[in-house]
Structure 1
Amino acid sequence: MTDAASLIADLGRRARDAAAGLARMSTSARAAGLRAAAATLRDDEAAILAANAQDMSTAEARGLTVAMLDRLRLDAGRVAAIAAGVEAVATLPDPVGQVIDRTTRPNGLDLCRVRVPIGVIGIVYESRPNVTADAAALCVMAGNAAILRGGSEATHSNAAIHAAMLRGFVDANLPADAVQLVPIADRAAVGAMLGADGSIDLIIPRGGKSLVARVQAEARVPVLAHLDGINHVYVDGSAEPGMARRIVLDAKLRRTGVCGAMETLLIDRAFPDAGGLIAALRDAGCVVRGDGRAQALVPGLPAASAEDWDTEYLDAIVSVAIVDGIAAAMAHIAAHGSHHTDAIVAEDEGVAERFLAGVDSAIVLWNASTQFADGGEFGLGAEIGIATGRLHARGPVALEGLTTYKWIGRGTGQVRG
């Protein structure tokens, strides 16, 4: 057994005990722990920002991309938002103990399905130190213990956030091991978590494509994840041009490094202002690459390659295709999308409903920016990630997605005989 494997096994044993304690605690007790953690995050703002400054200096020296630096950077506003997010989770309805459905069998046996915590959740993530707080808050509120393994680029930030929250948890009498931070940066720790079947019940990766691909390929523990955010906005011929422009610019450029950013723009050939949309993106500083039809509309537009349609840029780059209506748009999304988030801009309700019903993505939007792909915007409080698979949870994963269920039967002496 390697040192990393021994370490993860020990964290897992402690987490299992903490999870059992959390599951027995009341909703109000867990919520009080989160409110206390939010308070200690605010108290420790200076220490958190000083730790983040260390990480930013190292990251800049290592030449991290602009998108990665944006994900890593903290300021007073972002620390305040992290604390507010933790508090918001404390106010959400507690799914634990919720009766999903109930039936009485012909023999009188009363059966119901009840939501229960999953147990021990491992989160492997990169860059974003806010994930430390989001994951901790969501796991604890849903009655789960968490083992967090952040990226080396955010070592000091993650440690400062975890230390602040841990102090709040302990002050509120939550188990000290409810949220544990893996103390080593060795990549072997990730491998040990992926192989910790029996110690960890669910792995959630948040990060770049290589991290998520590794987790999905190597894990012996169930995984909840998305690999890419290749998101589309389709502008129908019926779209109102002003609305289309606002949505397209926001979807691409509000924050280019988030997984909800638009990467491909599809424009109906019947839309009257395709050239204007492309020009608006370029004028806003976006690099635009187009198919042959788009190039014909905008002289000098660089050509989009075959690889562009399957690329998550996470940067101010977008690919544009002119398509023959909704059927062609949906075919393009089916061929190149990642089942994350896709949107239609249209005034024609029939066309919009066809898109909403026919596009097989975790999030499908009508007349709204793809940047709404966020648990907070969905009223879920903080999110632990976006799931694009079809099992257990899909879309923004918050409290309900961190529970499973068990069957409870209440009888009056029934036997099968």
Structure 2
Amino acid sequence: MAFEGLAERLQSTLSKIRGKGVVSEADVKAMMREVRLALLEADVNFKVVKDFISNVKERAVGQDVLKSLTPGQQVIKVVNEELTKLMGGEQSKIAVAKKSPTVVMMVGLQGAGKTTTTGKLANYLRKNSNRKPLLVAGDIYRPAAIKQLETLGNQLNMPVFSLGDQVSPVEIAKQAVEKAKEEHLDYVLIDTAGRLHIDETLMGELQQIKETVNPDEILLVVDAMTGQDAVNVAESFNEQLDLTGVVLTKLDGDTRGGAALSVKAVTNTPIKFAGMGEKLDALEPFHPDRMASRILGMGDVLTLIEKAQSTVDEEKARELEKKMRNADITFDDFLDQLAQVRNMGPLDELLGMMPGANKMKGLKNIQVDEKQIGHVEAIVRSMTKAEKQDPTILNASRRKRIAKGSGTSIQEVNRLIKQFDEMKKMMKQMSNMTAKGKKKGKFKFPFM
């Protein structure tokens, strides 16, 4: 989970003040000392920390907060709002040129994931705004960079513009824009060269590309796990190229969070996207308010809903709802739902988006074993069609066959069948409560 260490420290600190009926100025100062240490340990820029603490203190010790009916909650609200403000305040969307194509330069150092992020961004634009992007292989120096982008293009079934490694990147970018105009494509995503460090040659070339194609966006790709170094890189690139946005990669790792909390304040450049995994659909728009809520353990319901809407089949969901009402769910339905949930992303990440999940017993430090979920799928897939439809026929010999066919134990098969039976009983009870409630006019089943 992103910001894991920082989130735990902040949530622990804020929990001491959350339920207090009376909060003194001394309480606020003591809390802010701990918050300051947590931010510095997370590799947040020192000046950023100083300004943040000063802003929170000034607001938190005000009469409106300390004299309110819920001062503890009010202080946490102030911290949440200041964290949101620190990361940009509101979502900064990617530009759309008045006249197509919209040209986007992807810049950054080697190793930050620039080429992969270029592919992810193209996939995001096509999927979420129905745009037609063109990938441009502008990195002629790194061995296999062109091949890597072409491979991504094949995986995404998306056009890639390349002139090989003997033509200058400036000329490649220029011809790519012309090609996009001819073919009425909406976006030109130029994967430029990177270096292990910033040098004059690199910057000179990037400035030439900028002057030639006049990009609508210059997005810097930085590795969030490099902490303060990522902010220093952003500052250098911004000084010479006038960046329009930042993409943070590896934000799904156990990152300390310093880059995400510092980059906007230091460079005044918004974070536009965050890479949340290896897959080509693992790129999310960066929402400062949602990220602040996640850091403070308040969940991120909106992102959870968006993930569900993009992956769950509505017709199947309605069909399943009817079956759940009648407690008529089968193992086929169970398997289908499991697949749809897994498409939403890693389960421990989804749990982290649930409000209060950090306080739920057994969920705080949960590690979802994807291998175990694979076992469950294997067990169900080893059943015959009749067995999936009617689990009551699963006698001892059938269970033994299923265990052997799925590479699991009889105990695992028995456990799954028992859990499935209990789930159906619970659905039946809920359905009965609905029927009684309807007669009395007091209870309404959540789906109805």
What TM-score, normalized by structure 1, do the two folds share? 0.27
Which of structures 1 and 2 has the bigger CA Rg? Answer: 2
For CA contacts below 8 A with separation 6 or more, give which structure has more relative contact order: 1
What TM-score, normalized by structure 2, do the two folds share? 0.26
Higher strand content, 1 or 2: 1
